[in-house]
Chain A
Amino acid sequence: NAGVTQTPKFQVLKTGQSMTLQCAQDMNHNSMYWYRQDPGMGLRLIYYSASEGTTDKGEVPNGYNVSRLNKREFSLRLESAAPSQTSVYFCASSGLAGAALHTQYFGPGTRLTVL
């Protein structure tokens, strides 16, 4: 049981390049999330997916796209990377009931630098 896995762990891009961050969970969770973490700003939600086949914008969706490929996988794509997208990106998932409804399980993060 690996929990939430993310690839890659580190990435350096040049301005204008594209890339896809991969995320997978093996906890049979319906909901998945992408966040970015910047110093002094906490976690900001980029996109989320309440269930397979649905995606919705979070607080900071501009410059990103997502795909909920199946129940396990949720990818984040940067079509044309900008230096402002330099950040640490976290994928998370959450379950169904009680405290678990809002308990989020996080991956280890992807550290992205855009030059």
Chain B
Amino acid sequence: GEDVEQSLFLSVREGDSSVINCTYTDSSSTYLYWYKQEPGAGLQLLTYIFSNMDMKQDQRLTVLLNKKDKHLSLRIADTQTGDSAIYFCAVPRKGYQKVTFGTGTKLQVIP
């Protein structure tokens, strides 16, 4: 099966950039995803990248994809306290309408 790994915790100061990393073992997907979970809530899609792209920028968010190394990252520029949340990468599985979620990275933003 698919393994999706993330570090569990990241702490940054307000205004700095945050980089959240994700590695996966296999993917046949055309898309890879980042979800955000705020305290006490369900996950919400944050952004996604098409698998033939290396980079996608969306306002303060930059997604980088290295298919050779099976490495996905999410960069948040000018991190704000409102960005404090758990971030999950998600990699769809072969042949099914299912995804494997990473373990989640809890981002703490220090004022």
Contacts and interface: CB of A to CB of B under 8 A. Distances in A.
Contacts of A107: 42
B52 to A, nearest CB: 14
Interface in A69-115: 90, 92, 94, 99, 101-109
A41 interface: yes
A58 B1 CA distance: 12
Interface residues of A, number: 26
A42 B8 CA distance: 10
A48 B98 contact: yes
B99 A42 contact: no
Contacts of B92: 102
Contacts of A105: 45
A4 interface: yes
B88 A103 contact: no
A91 B70 CA distance: 28
A104 B42 CA distance: 11
Contacts of A41: 103
A100 to B, nearest CB: 10
Contacts of B29: 102
Interface in B61-111: 88, 90, 92, 96-99, 101-104
Contacts of A102: 29, 31, 33, 90, 92, 97, 99
A25 interface: no
A19 interface: no
15 contacts: A33-B98, A40-B103, A42-B104, A43-B43, A43-B88, A50-B96, A92-B42, A102-B90, A102-B92, A104-B35, A104-B90, A105-B45, A106-B42, A108-B40, A109-B42
Interface of B: 1, 4, 6, 8, 29, 31, 33, 35, 40-45, 48, 88, 90, 92, 96-99, 101-104
